[in-house]
Structure 1
Amino acid sequence: MKAPLPLLAVAVLAVGCRPDFGTRSSRITEPRILAVQATPAEARPGEVVTYRALVALADGAPALSWSTCATSKPATENNVVGASCLGKDVRAFGGRGPETSGEVPADACTLFGPDTPAPRPGEPPFRPHDPDVTGGYYLPVRVDLPGSDPAVALERIRCNLVGASPEVARDFRERYVPNRAPHLLEVTAQVNGAPVALDALPADATITWRARWSGPEDAEPSAETYVVYDVASQSLVERRESLRVSWYATSGDFEADRTGRSEDETESFSENAWTAPATPGPVQLWVVLRDARGGVDFLALHGTVAAR
């Protein structure tokens, strides 16, 4: 079953991309950053985070450059990331390449979270940022691939709980567990219920792809249980993460660009139908798993479409 997920569960946003209404997001025809995995998946300001990018159609180690947004998004802008982050209003972060590490900026919770800086003389106080539906705040991390549009990954940052009573805030600190990234175990293919090898995908056939991740029976399930502060009841509410799978391929057509499981579904897999191209030849596929709190995992697959 496919389920819609909250917008802010997305870990990478292709902001600044030119609109192309003739091509679906699942079709890859040129180099593109598909996802960025952060380890740990949630960190406090000052903690070191390692970022690893999934780049489609890039040979070797692409010369990625990394930066973080230097200013918060104005209230007048509707985008998830402020337009200034696509210009020069960024801070260099880490090194170059598909993987880098660095500290979460000390002012991350001020720029992008609930902490508010002191107002400028003669100006009204700043309004704190609102959390997403999971209670989270996110540091925008910009990734630039030469010759391609920039991408922005949203790293979940752990900030203080505001607006709650001292008792609820203390309970939150004791119960809240920082997000861990989901674990994508395998991606397999079937035709009419029978397994199909990646190097023998039948041409012009409808192939069912299944992405499987760690489930409730595993030591670290991908769909974690967490607490979030509910403003209406002024209490903590326990929730379970939803999961979303994004599918990409260099040829063929997926039935859906994204599938997944809602927080009420306990199954640890998601399926998607793919119509293989009629012409035999190599095909590349990428599968990205995201949880509702911004954690990411991914797999890259190399297959061959064979004549039937």
Structure 2
Amino acid sequence: MGRVGAVSLAVLFAFGCKPEFSERSSEVRSLRVLAVRTEPGEWQTVLDPDTGGAKPAAFRALVVTPEGNDTTAPLNWAFCSLPKPLTELNDVTIRCFEWEADYLVPMGTGTNVSAPVPENACRQFGPDVPEDQAYRPADPDVTGGYYQPVRILLEPGDGSLVSAVAKVRIKCGLPGATQEQIISYQRRYHPNTNPSIQGVEALLPRGSQPAVPLESDPNAPPLQVAPGQKFELRVSWPGAPLTDACGDGYCGPTESKDAADPNACAADCSPEKGSGGAERYLAFDQETRQLRELRESMRVSWYTAEGFGSFADDRTGAAENDPTTFASNRFTAPQASGDFPIWVVLRDSRGGVDWKSIRIRVAP
């Protein structure tokens, strides 16, 4: 049995969110894992025709220090297959944060890894009966989703321990639904795809000057502002279609399956799959026992290095069913001169993630 790291103040829950204590969550004081993006955005087992095994999912972490992005951090990744006891209050059991254990499935090291999600994910973290019947089936979240936890550990070399947990949304069954509802759900459900940040802009208080796009290219000249200057930052994402259309990955209630291709609709059309915005999806209401069509909420987390100015809010966004396609935040630049990093992380309510890393130059 491997040792457990000191994770009480370092664990990131719910798609990379850091718990808030005395410091603000928007301040980066040391090496941190701010977010993890999984492709696909919702896992279901797909067999590789060449190998016969399950196709792997891809994982990418946003690792940062007060100086900027760290793309070389030797993160240690593992799936944790141990359910959480009812006596623990955290999202995952503290035992997931061991370096080695028989319930940990190694995934690799680095900031980018790939591995197939464990086949027993829906048993251990979904509605199916767990392999160890001392645990109970998991309850879905408010979007009807279930999640396989991923444990991430790193020893920076200074005696400290960085720890994080990501969650992979997994497609499982629909307990409590009728056969008719299950069929309707399978035909109409939108698997989650990751959101996409269209751009980040600075709205400077200079009369009628338009918003200034901020480039994430490290070679592009950063936006220059004055010491202590206050201005607004705005992040935007695409709009999402309001109606079902053939070719978007499923068939709506008025569409029929193509007999030659069970994964396509019969009509000849090809709209884009996955909008990158607040997607519509179907959820089974556990109280009313009815299917409900919902639209994702979108949340933006803002980060900057400790001492480099401050945000008015650590998080902004758009609520469920809100058609807004942007979120803003007020930023106050520091008094010191220099180039400083800012990170913007966009999350949808079903676990999808995207981010942008930008820099701002402060000069008199």
Scaled by the length of structure 2, the TM-score of the pair is: 0.75
**Whole-Å Cα distance in 1 between the matches of residues 239 and 120 of structure 2?**
36
Partner of 1:104: helix, strand, or coil? Answer: coil
Contact between 2:76 and 2:152, CA under 8 Å: does it hold in 1?
A: yes
* Mapped pair 1:91 → 2:110: no
Letter in 2 for 1:74: P
C-alpha displacement of 1:119: 6.1
* Mapped pair 1:112 → 2:125: yes
Residues 85 and 14 of structure 1, relative CA distance in 2, 3 Å threshold: farther
Q: Report matched runs for 1:14-93 at 5 Å.
A: 14=18, 20-21=21-22, 23-45=23-45, 46-57=54-65, 58-87=69-98, 88-89=100-101, 90-93=103-106
2:153 aligned residue:
144
**Whole-Å Cα distance in 1 between the matches of residues 132 and 63 of structure 2?**
41
C-alpha displacement of 1:140: 0.7
**Whole-Å Cα distance in 2 between the matches of residues 86 and 13 of structure 1?**
17
**Whole-Å Cα distance in 1 between the matches of residues 130 and 230 of structure 2?**
55
C-alpha displacement of 1:221: 4.2
Partner of 1:94: helix, strand, or coil? Answer: strand
Partner of 1:282: helix, strand, or coil? Answer: strand
**Whole-Å Cα distance in 2 between the matches of residues 267 and 225 of structure 1?**
14
C-alpha displacement of 1:290: 0.2
Partner of 2:198: helix, strand, or coil? Answer: strand
Partner of 1:133: helix, strand, or coil? Answer: coil
2:177 aligned residue:
164
Contact between 2:79 and 2:107, CA under 8 Å: does it hold in 1?
A: no
Q: Deviations over 1:28-53 (max 9, x none)?
A: 12111000000001002544210000
Contact between 1:42 and 1:179, CA under 8 Å: does it hold in 2?
A: yes
**Whole-Å Cα distance in 2 between the matches of residues 300 and 67 of structure 1?**
26
Residues 13 and 210 of structure 1, relative CA distance in 2, 3 Å threshold: closer
Contact between 2:225 and 2:363, CA under 8 Å: does it hold in 1?
A: yes
Residues 98 and 298 of structure 1, relative CA distance in 2, 3 Å threshold: same
**Whole-Å Cα distance in 2 between the matches of residues 191 and 96 of structure 1?**
42
* Mapped pair 1:132 → 2:132: no
1:249 aligned residue:
304
Contact between 2:80 and 2:105, CA under 8 Å: does it hold in 1?
A: no
1:181 aligned residue:
194
Letter in 2 for 1:66: W
**Whole-Å Cα distance in 1 between the matches of residues 17 and 25 of structure 2?**
12
Runs of at least 5 residues in structure 2 that lack an aligned partner in the other structure? 1-12, 46-53, 215-221, 242-270
2:231 aligned residue:
207
Partner of 2:87: helix, strand, or coil? Answer: coil
1:6 aligned residue:
none
Q: How many residues align?
A: 291
Q: Deviations over 1:213-250 (max 9, x none)?
A: 11137951410000000122221100000000000011
Q: Deviations over 1:52-78 (max 9, x none)?
A: 000112544211111111200011111
Identity score, percent: 38
Runs of at least 5 residues in structure 1 that lack an aligned partner in the other structure? 1-8
Partner of 1:63: helix, strand, or coil? Answer: coil
Partner of 2:186: helix, strand, or coil? Answer: helix
Letter in 2 for 1:37: R
1:295 aligned residue:
352
Residues 242 and 59 of structure 1, relative CA distance in 2, 3 Å threshold: closer
**Whole-Å Cα distance in 2 between the matches of residues 119 and 281 of structure 1?**
56
Contact between 1:10 and 1:290, CA under 8 Å: does it hold in 2?
A: no
C-alpha displacement of 1:10: 3.6
**Whole-Å Cα distance in 2 between the matches of residues 63 and 119 of structure 1?**
33
Letter in 2 for 1:26: S
C-alpha displacement of 1:179: 0.2
Scaled by the length of structure 1, the TM-score of the pair is: 0.88
Contact between 1:112 and 1:129, CA under 8 Å: does it hold in 2?
A: yes
**Whole-Å Cα distance in 1 between the matches of residues 328 and 186 of structure 2?**
37
Letter in 1 for 2:341: Q
Contact between 1:286 and 1:298, CA under 8 Å: does it hold in 2?
A: yes
For 1:283, which of 321, 330, 340 is the aligned residue? 340
Residues 109 and 54 of structure 1, relative CA distance in 2, 3 Å threshold: same
Q: Which stretch of structure 1 is more off in the superposition, 217-226 or 293-302?
A: 217-226
Partner of 2:187: helix, strand, or coil? Answer: helix
Q: Which stretch of structure 1 is more off in the superposition, 106-115 or 192-201?
A: 192-201
Structure 1 or 2, whichever has the larger Rg, is 2
Letter in 1 for 2:183: R
Contact between 2:189 and 2:282, CA under 8 Å: does it hold in 1?
A: yes
Greater relative contact order, per chain length (Cα 8 Å cut-off, separation 6+): 1
C-alpha displacement of 1:128: 1.4
Letter in 2 for 1:43: W
